[in-house]
Amino acid sequence: MSEQPVIFHVSDGIASITLNRPASGNAIDLAMANALVDAAIRCETDRSIRCVVLTGTGRLFCAGGDVGGFATAGEGAGAHLSLLAGTLHMAVARFARMPCPMVVLVNGPAAGAGLSLVLAGDIVLAARSAHFTAAYSAIGLTPDGGMSWLLPRLVGLRKAQEIILTNRRIKAEEAEAIGIVTRLVDDEALAGEGAETAGRLAASAVDALGTARRLLQRSFTNGLETQLEDEARGIAEAGAGPESREGIAAFLAKRAPDFRGAGR
């Protein structure tokens, strides 16, 4: 396996991003954070990318931040964490803004910022062997990677308070039940299910999906009238575009739409 901290490649419109520090549980150090920023910028700006898949190598999805690096920083730990979190946050923000969906395949345990990356997905498939931990309070730290924003929106404030403050382990079945993950998959079927899901999304009306992502993200801060106006603008822009023309034509002709051929 390559020694690159993140493996990135694009095939048939699907960008695959693989966390690749298996010996350290895919813990996020500065090199990995920078590589994630590079990958996120590519996904945000390359219009040929229609879906993004994020996963990890080895037994863990991601153990969170590289605690060994925190210790090595010594008295400079504050500055080190500021740089590391700030860099990771550039990636998280770009993943949120990119005009295509992200599928996260949780191949094993996720903790700390690893859980934050799970929460950032639009569709999250988790192996049954996975489990989830906020982890920060165990080492005297506080959430990063967007956890304090994303988790309450997915599971509710009261449940998020418990998960973050008590640091208890969330098993895969509970993670599915409370909305941390979309659905569970047998470990050996995860890659196949992920490929099928990504392929289906990549064949969809991706520009419409991108607008839907933004509407959902804004829905917790917009008032109703503002959200209604955003929806009206979004559907009008979509209706004027090639995806809608292809979708409507296919519907009337009683055939499957070819959104890939419609152009973006």
Residues of each domain in the chain carrying CATH 3.90.226.10: 6-202
Structure tokens that stand for 84 in this block:
């590391």
Does residue 117 register a pLDDT over 90? Answer: yes
Encode pLDDT of 244-262 as tens digits.
999 999 999 999 999 998 8
Residue 45: how many CB atoms within 10 A of its CB? 11
Alpha carbon distances (Å) from 22 to 27, 47, 59, 102, 107: 8, 31, 7, 22, 12
Does residue 2 register a pLDDT over 60? Answer: no
When pLDDT is averaged across residues 128-132 and rounded to a whole number, the result is 98
Report the Cα–Cα distance between both ends of the chain, in Å, rounded: 35
Encode pLDDT of 40-56 as tens digits.
999 999 999 999 999 99
- Global pTM? 0.94
Strands 102-106 and 6-11: unpaired
For the chain, the C-alpha Rg in angstroms (whole number) is: 19
Residue whose tokens read 């973050």 = 164
Helix (H, G, I), strand (E, B) or coil at 109: coil
Residues of each domain in the chain carrying CATH 1.10.12: 205-253
Does residue 1 register a pLDDT over 60? Answer: no
Give the CATH class of 6-202.
Answer: alpha beta
Chain mean pLDDT for the chain: 96
Any idea which fold 205-253 has?
A: Lyase 2-enoyl-coa Hydratase; Chain  A, domain 2 (1.10.12)
